[in-house]
Amino acid sequence: MTDPIQLDAAATTPLDARVLEAMLPWFTERAANASTRSGPGARARAALEEARERVARACGARASGVVFTSGATEANNLALLGAARARAKHGRRVLVGSSEHACVRECALALGREGFVVDWLALDTGGLCDLERAAELLREDTVLVAQMLVHNESGAVHPVRELARLVRSRAPRAHLHVDAVQALGKLELSLLSLGADSLALSAHKLHGPQGAGALVLSGERPLAPITFGGGQERGLRPGTENLAAIVGFGLAAELAERERPRFSAAAERWRADFLAGLAALGGWRVLEPQVRVPAILGLVAPEPASEIRRNHLEARGILTGAGSACQATKANLSPSLAALGLDEASIRRFLRLSLSRESVACDPGVVVEALRAVDTELARPARSAR
Ligand code: PLP
């Protein structure tokens, strides 16, 4: 049986063989605690610091700003809860993108329960965060703004640099946090030139291992820790570091940035060929944000619900996504898809195709043909029971 075509890279990506090779010794002969002073401990510390440099270079930040975490969920929690709590003396308003990932949205709701007032920043008609609305909502007492850079369901690239300028002028005390999970490896990323205070990253979205990520700080604004223990990671993420995974993350970030131009060009070609084929099928709607990366493609399929279509596609060896993997099992419909302007019926028929460096090599014509075959299968009237 041939390997399936994996078109759900926004959920996770296959581990790059070079990354796995770099990680292996840190599970075996080089395994050590980076906080101990022994020779092996010092060697582990050096590897950790090298990974920190690599992650910082890949996202245009300083190595001293990189706080390793278990992934982006933890990084987003640390950023939102840590920044809002540290700044509560200046005000208790927070502004959060309405189509953020659940781990950001749930933190905002938790802050609401702590007494912060949460304003939600809607999208404009082009599917990007609404800057005019942001200008209205930002106030002197806004202490936190969270807006992702690349949307995980539509591929929209939000105008974060412009948002940062507004934040600095209208809410000078606010910490601006950016979930950049889907941005690294897909566009040129620089924390310092974005003008944000922090970024969240995740290794497993970049052909790195699951269980490693980072909160990358520009260094100017302090955070309140949300977990307590030893002094690792500037005291912001106490606990023994996941050394092998962090080493893998460092290399994965470097490779993602190095291979980005080639990947982006290939993804752009793939998308154009795929959409040309899809246009001939009829009944499909494509989400086309005004500014977008090519590697994430949000689609609204014809009836029935996308879960049924995805099963049919999987039987034909094509793996697709239904939107945010973390929400796929929740009974409620994705609020971030609703924020993109989809009604309930469209959300049920939402299908996401997302490309990795590996799956971008697949033939888009094969995917279109599978969609066509499944459309035909699903359109056939159900055989009446005998
Ligand atoms: N933010 C975005 C935009 C994501 O797409 C994801 C994963 O789906 C996350 C955060 C959570 O990342 P992690 O799996 O590293 O916790």
Pocket test for ligand 1, best of 98, 152, 206, 215 (most atoms within 8 A of CB): 152
Residue to mutate, 96, 105, 202, ligand 1, most ligand atoms under 8 Å from C-beta: 202
Q: How many CA atoms lie within 13 A of 309 on its CB side?
A: 26
Question: Does ligand 1 have an atom closer than 6 angstroms to the CB of 71?
Answer: yes
Answer yes or no: do 216 and 286 share one domain: no
**Does 159 reside within a domain?**
yes
260 lines ligand 1 (CB under 6 A): no
pLDDT tens digits for range 161-176: 999 999 999 999 999 9
Phi, psi of 361 (to 5 degrees): -80, -10
Are 303 and 214 part of one and the same domain? no
Query: Is 28 exposed, middle or buried (CB count within 10 Å of its CB: 0-12, 13-18, 19+)?
Result: exposed
Specify if 60 maps to a domain.
Answer: yes
Same-domain status, 118 and 247: yes
Asked if 347 and 230 sit in the same domain, the reply is no
The per-residue pLDDT for 339 is 84
- 337 inside domain: yes
Cis peptide before 4 (omega within 30 of 0): no
pLDDT band at 100 (very low <50, low <70, confident <90, very high): very high
Rounded distance between C-alpha atoms, residue 41 and residue 277, angstroms: 55
In this structure, the answer to whether residues 114 and 164 fall within a common structural domain is: yes
For residue 137, give the CATH number of its domain: 3.40.640.10
- Give the helix ranges, DSSP H, for 202-297: 243-258, 260-279
Quote the ligand 1 centre to 181 CA distance (angstroms).
6
148 CA closest ligand 1 atom index:
3
List, in order, residues 6 or more apart from 95 with CB less than 8 Å away: 118, 119, 120, 121, 134, 137, 138, 142, 144, 145, 146, 171, 174
Q: Write out pLDDT tens, residues 53-83.
A: 999 999 999 999 999 999 999 999 999 999 9
**Distance between Cα 141 and ligand 1 center (Å):** 29
Nearest to 242 by CA among 75, 68, 378, 126: 68
pLDDT tens string 223-271:
999 999 999 999 999 999 999 999 999 999 999 999 999 999 999 999 9
Task: Verify that 241 and 264 share a domain, yes or no.
Answer: no
As for how many domains the chain has, the answer is 2
Mean pLDDT score across all residues of the chain: 94
**Are the CB atoms for 286 and 89 separated by under 8 Å?**
no
Q: Is 323 in the pocket of ligand 1 (CB under 6 A)?
A: no
Please tell me whether residues 124 and 241 are part of one structural domain: yes
Identify the domain containing residue 275 by its residue range.
5-13+260-381
Q: Are residues 72 and 193 in the same domain?
A: yes
Cα–Cα distance, 244 to 131 (Å, whole number): 41
Q: What is the atom index within ligand 1 of the atom nearest the CA of 103?
A: 10
The pTM score is: 0.95
Residue 201 located in a structural domain:
yes
310 and 328 together in one domain = yes
* Domain stops at, among 202, 235, 257: 257
Q: Is 181 in the pocket of ligand 1 (CB under 6 A)?
A: yes
Which residue has the least CA distance to atom 7 on ligand 1? 11
**Predicted local confidence at residue 385, as pLDDT:** 39
- Average pLDDT value for residue range 3-8: 95
In a domain, 297, yes or no: yes
Residue 23 region, left (φ>0) first, then alpha (ψ -120 to 50), else beta?
A: alpha
Whether the pLDDT of residue 198 is over 60: the answer is yes
151 vs 383: which has the higher pLDDT: 151
Residue 367 within a domain: yes
Q: Which CATH number goes with the domain that contains 312?
A: 3.90.1150.10
- Single residue among 200, 230, 257 that ends a domain in this structure: 257
Kindly give the number of the ligand 1 atom that is closest to the alpha carbon of 202: 15
Token duo for residue 213: 């990520």
Long-range contacts of 45-52 (CB under 8 A, 24+ apart): 47/243, 47/247, 48/241, 48/243, 48/246, 48/247, 50/247, 50/250, 51/246, 51/247, 51/249, 51/250, 51/251, 52/250
354 within a domain of the structure (yes/no):
yes
DSSP code, position 3:
P
Q: Of 257, 273, 306, at which residue does a domain stop? A: 257
Q: What is the pLDDT of residues 287-315, one digit of tens each?
A: 999 999 999 999 999 999 999 999 999 99
Q: Say how many Å lie between the CA of residue 325 and the centre of ligand 1.
A: 9
Ligand 1 and 202: CB distance under 6 A: yes
Quick one: 300 and 369 in the same domain? yes
Q: Report whether residue 103 contacts ligand 1, using a CB cutoff of 6 Å.
A: yes
Find out whether the beta carbon of 346 lies less than 6 Å from any atom of ligand 1.
no
Residue 386 lies in a domain: no
Whether 142 and 39 map to the same domain: the answer is yes
The token pair at 92 is 């208790």
Active centre residues (catalytic): 326
Residues 310 and 175 in one domain: no
